Structure formats: structure tokens, C-alpha cells
């Protein structure tokens, strides 16, 4: 992942040092498990642990140099580790294992930690959305459908719905964590031909993973589920970011993403304040969906395994983890620093010339005894005229001889508070979100 979208904690997790350190720990745990089962002498297992190399930049470089000869990363890794430990003790490293016993189990361990970071970031976004939703609970604004004025809502209700969606994404991440928190040390085709199942059980237990039946590899639908959770996070963040972008448009101007002191919106036009963060997050959502497609392609492998998934996963899994994490963290900062212009929201409500109350008027006419189509045509005719002439809908209706409604009935139809009286139902669900 390019540094621009890489945050330190996730970058460290997906570094070569952590990858090899995890491989090494699995190899050491396997030797110790064999020792506990009586296959490897106890003093040998202790020596293997004591002489195990420190995984550093020098170690990574040594493996890379060895891989230039072996053209096999795990074989190169094992060679370097065995050389560091020395003969004969080092010969017990990788005993009975196949490459993907180590690679897949280590990958699962890192995916679990990656998901923990994602859940933590998701929780921060949920908390930010809930806090801002409660803060803006009574801030009235125009609701829009198809990009057009519809009926009144509150900005708090909009944020509350975002919060509920972000919470669903968090639960998807937790489900993905369960799917990938598995390991396998069952040999070349998963039949335990060269390894005792108890070794698998002991190693996985130490890593906090659940042993699962497998071929030479863990089934890739689990990894696709992880990528689905990342893509869902990206889609959710993109949905929120897209709304902010629309509401920040010059002709709307109801909310603005944070704009730091000294920031420039354009190299050419000093007046510009572009929603660049939200535009960036929209783009990252597209990338995340692409990685999901690649992950789904990896589910179908030949027989007990082939290697077609490997090159995909070396890019897709770390990059998706980076982008989902970055998106969650960045969206939380947007929500926390979002500038809400309640005055502009009120002005835009006023600019509708009362059109946002057309349905209550329609229902009042139906209630007065008119058939629905007749009532609809009356309101539609007046609404079109009000908009084209820049006049108030209520004034137009009061002058229309076909509208026989008492003043108090029209008062109720054009009452903003009446339109918003049930938005509290959304916040009832919000109370359960932690």
C-alpha cells in the first residue's frame, strides 16, 4: 500500500518483519508441540527456541537473498531459520509441515489482528456519528429524493441512520473475524499424513485460532468474507461521504467537511473549499469493491490447492485492510469536525416556498371529501405555479377556489413540528448502539 493511505499500526501489522515473525512463532510452537508429544527431545525444543533468530531487516534481507536461489519464499525462510539455529536441532524446524500450514495459519493470525484494528476504528466512527446525531437531533432541514426537495427531516435523523449503518458494518467485521480466526497444520493435502492432529490443536490454541478441516489450504470463502466486510465498510463510508459532498455544494451549503488552518482548496481559485476528503473516500470505496471481486475469484482452486490465489492475496488482503482502516479513521475525523450550517438549512426549507408540505395538503383535501386524483391535481397545479413564479404555496392555495380548507387545517398541514413529530423513533434504535 502506498504511504498516502497507510496508517502506522496497520502498516506494521502487514510488514515483512511481522509476517516472518509470525511464521517463525508457528514453526517454534510446532517443534514444542512435537516435544510435548514425545517426538522431539525436550532439550532440543528448548535449544530451537533459544537459538531462533531475531526477525529484523537483516533477517528479511537474508530470506530475500535466499529466495533468489530457491524461488520459494517458505523454503528460503526455513533455510535461513535452520541455519541460524544450527544442526542437528534446526533440522526439526518445519518437521511434518507443508508451506501453507505456516502461511495460512500465520495469515489468519494477522487477519484477526487486522480485524481488531478495523473494529476499533469502526467503533470510533459509530461513536462519532451517535454523538453528532444527538447533537443535531432537532436541526430541521430539507429531505431530498432524486436530488429534489421532498419533505422535512432533521440532520440528526440523517446522522442517526448513518450510525445504524456503521454499526451494521461493525457487526459484519466481527462476523468476518470469526470466519478467519482459524488455522490448519494438517500437511500437504490436509490428511495429517505427516503430522499428528494434536500438533495442530496445540499450535492453534496458543495463537487463539480454531483448527478447521482443510485441504492444503484453508478454504478461501473465509478470506472472501473478510474482503466483503472491508468492501461493505468502504461502501458505507462512501455513502456518508457522497452525502456530505452533495450537502457541501455551493448552491446547498448546509454542511462542510473540516478545513484546516492554512489549507488550500485550489491551486488557482482562492475561494474554493472543496470536499476533498470525502471525494478521496469515495474513490477508496471503489478500490475496496474491486478487492472483493478478486477475493471471490480465489474461492475456486484446483483439487487440493493451486497457487493462483497467492499473488492476489499478497496485494488484496493487506491493501483492503489498509484502505478500510484508513477510510474508517478518516470518516470519523470528518464526522467529528463536520461544520453544520443550521441557518442555511432553514433558508433552504424556506426556499422551497412551502412545497415540502404538499403531501399534508393533499391528505387534507382527501380528508375534506375530494377523490385523491382530483386533490393531487389541485395541489400539483398550485405547487408548479408557486415554484415557477417564486410564490408561497400556501398563498396560492388560499387563492384557489377549488381549495376549500379552513385556516386551521392549512396551519396543521404547513406545521414543521408536525412533520417531524415522529423522528424520535429513529433515536429509540440509536439508544441501543454502543
Angle at 367 between CA 361 and CA 368, to 5 degrees: 90
To the query of whether residue 266 is one of the catalytic residues in this protein, the response is: yes
Helix axes 308-337, 99-135, angle to 10 degrees: 20
Residue with cell 510488514: 15
- How many Cα atoms within 13 Å fall on the side-chain side of residue 235? 15
DSSP state of 355: G
Alpha-carbon dihedral of residues 313, 318, 322, 323, nearest 10 degrees?
-10
Grid cell digits, residue 233:
465498510
Among the options 87, 146, 303, 422, which is catalytic?
A: 146
Q: Which helix (H) or strand (E) holds 334?
A: helix 308-337
Alpha helix positions (H), 37-98: 42-51, 57-70, 73-85
Cα 399 to chain centroid distance, Å, stands at 53
Residues 6 or more apart whose Cβ sits within 8 Å of residue 401: none
Cis previous bond, 88, omega within 30: yes
Retrieve residue 143's grid coordinates: 429531505
Give percent helix, percent strand, percent coil of the chain, each to the nearest 5: 65, 5, 30
Is beta strand 210-211 parallel, antiparallel or unpaired with respect to 182-183? parallel
Q: Identify the H or E element spanning 333.
A: helix 308-337
Identify the three-state secondary structure at position 7.
coil
Please state whether beta strands 182-183 and 148-154 pair in parallel, antiparallel, or not at all (unpaired): unpaired
C-alpha cell at 208: 487463539
The verdict on whether 422 is a catalytic residue reads no
Sign of CA dihedral 95, 96, 98, 101: negative
Helix, strand, or coil (residue 20): helix
Catalytic residue among 56, 64, 266, 308: 266
Give the helix/strand (H/E) hosting 271: none
Task: Classify residue 311 by burial, with Cβ atoms within 10 Å: 0-12, 13-18, 19+.
Answer: exposed
Distance of alpha carbon 173 from alpha carbon 39, whole angstroms: 40
- What are the residue numbers of the active site? 146, 266
Amino acid at each position: 500500500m502506498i504511504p498516502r493511505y497507510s496508517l502506522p499500526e496497520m502498516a506494521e501489522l502487514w510488514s515483512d518483519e511481522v509476517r516472518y515473525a509470525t511464521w517463525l512463532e508457528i514453526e517454534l510452537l510446532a517443534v514444542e508441540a512435537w516435544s510435548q508429544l514425545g517426538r522431539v527431545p525436550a532439550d532440543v525444543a528448548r535449544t530451537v527456541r533459544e537459538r531462533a533468530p531475531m526477525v529484523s531487516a537483516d533477517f528479511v534481507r537474508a530470506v530475500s537473498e535466499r529466495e533468489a536461489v530457491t524461488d520459494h519464499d517458505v523454503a528460503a525462510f526455513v533455510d535461513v531459520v535452520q541455519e541460524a539455529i544450527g544442526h542437528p536441532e534446526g533440522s526439526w524446524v518445519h518437521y511434518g509441515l507443508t508451506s501453507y500450514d505456516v502461511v495460512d495459519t500465520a495469515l489468519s493470525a494477522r487477519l484477526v489482528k487486522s480485524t481488531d484494528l478495523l473494529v476499533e476504528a469502526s467503533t470510533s466512527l459509530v461513536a462519532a456519528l451517535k454523538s453528532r446525531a444527538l447533537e443535531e437531533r432537532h436541526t430541521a432541514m430539507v429531505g431530498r429524493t432524486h436530488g429534489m426537495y421532498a419533505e422535512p427531516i432533521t440532520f440528526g435523523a440523517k446522522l442517526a441512520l448513518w450510525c445504524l449503518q456503521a454499526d451494521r458494518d461493525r457487526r459484519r467485521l466481527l462476523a468476518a473475524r470469526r470466519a478467519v480466526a482459524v488455522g490448519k497444520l494438517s500437511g500437504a493435502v490436509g490428511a495429517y499424513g505427516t503430522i499428528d492432529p494434536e500438533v495442530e490443536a496445540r499450535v492453534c490454541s496458543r495463537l487463539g485460532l480454531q483448527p478447521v478441516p482443510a485441504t492444503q489450504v484453508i478454504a478461501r470463502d473465509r478470506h472472501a468474507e473478510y474482503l466483503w466486510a472491508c468492501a461493505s465498510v468502504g461502501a458505507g463510508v462512501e455513502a456518508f461521504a457522497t452525502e456530505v459532498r452533495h450537502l457541501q455544494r455551493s448552491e446547498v451549503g448546509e454542511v462542510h467537511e473540516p478545513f484546516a488552518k492554512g489549507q488550500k482548496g485550489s491551486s488557482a481559485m482562492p475561494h474554493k473549499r472543496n470536499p476533498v476528503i470525502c471525494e478521496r473516500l469515495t474513490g477508496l470505496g471503489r478500490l475496496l469493491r474491486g478487492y472483493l471481486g478478486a477475493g471471490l475469484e480465489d474461492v475456486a482452486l484446483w483439487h487440493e490447492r493451486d497457487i493462483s490465489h497467492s499473488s492476489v492475496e499478497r496485494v488484496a488482503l493487506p491493501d483492503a485492510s489498509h484502505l478500510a482502516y484508513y477510510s474508517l479513521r478518516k470518516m470519523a475525523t470528518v464526522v467529528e469536525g463536520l461544520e453544520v450550517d443550521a441557518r442555511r438549512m432553514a433558508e433552504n426549507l424556506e426556499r422551497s416556498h412551502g412545497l415540502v408540505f404538499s403531501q399534508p395538503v393533499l391528505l387534507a383535501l382527501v380528508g375534506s371529501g375530494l377523490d385523491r386524483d382530483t386533490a393531487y391535481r389541485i395541489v400539483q397545479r398550485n405547487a408548479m405555479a408557486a415554484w415557477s413564479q417564486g410564490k408561497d404555496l400556501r398563498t396560492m392555495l388560499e387563492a384557489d377556489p377549488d381549495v376549500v380548507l379552513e385556516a386551521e387545517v392549512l396551519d396543521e398541514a404547513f406545521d414543521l413540528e408536525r412533520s417531524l413529530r415522529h423522528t424520535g423513533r429513529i433515536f429509540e434504535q440509536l439508544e441501543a448502539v454502543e
